[in-house]
Amino acid sequence: NHRPVAGDSDLAEAIKLLARHHQSYVWERQRHVNRLRNALREFYPNALEAFGTELADRDAVAVLSIAPTPELGRRLSRSKIASALRRAGRQRNVESRAEKIQASLRSDQLQASVTVTRAYGTIASSLVSLIAGLNEQIAGLEEELEEAFDDHPDAKILRSLPGLGTVLGARVL
Q: What is the pLDDT of residues 107-137, one digit of tens each?
A: 988 888 899 999 999 999 999 999 999 999 9
Residue 1: per-residue pLDDT = 60
Q: Domain ranges in the chain?
A: 10-172
Using one digit for the tens of pLDDT, what is the confidence trace for 43-54?
999 999 999 999
The whole-number pLDDT of residue 155 equals: 86
Buried b / exposed e over 60-84, threshold 16 CB at 10 Å, is: bbbbbbbbbbbebbeebeeeebbeb
Euclidean distance between CA atoms 35 and 28, whole angstroms: 11
Mean pLDDT score of the chain = 92
Residue scoring higher pLDDT (142 or 172): 142
169, 115, 160: which is closest to 142 by C-alpha? 169
pTM more than 0.85: yes
pLDDT of residue 8: 72
- Close Cβ partners of 149 (under 8 Å, ≥ 6 residues apart): 15, 155, 166, 169, 170, 173
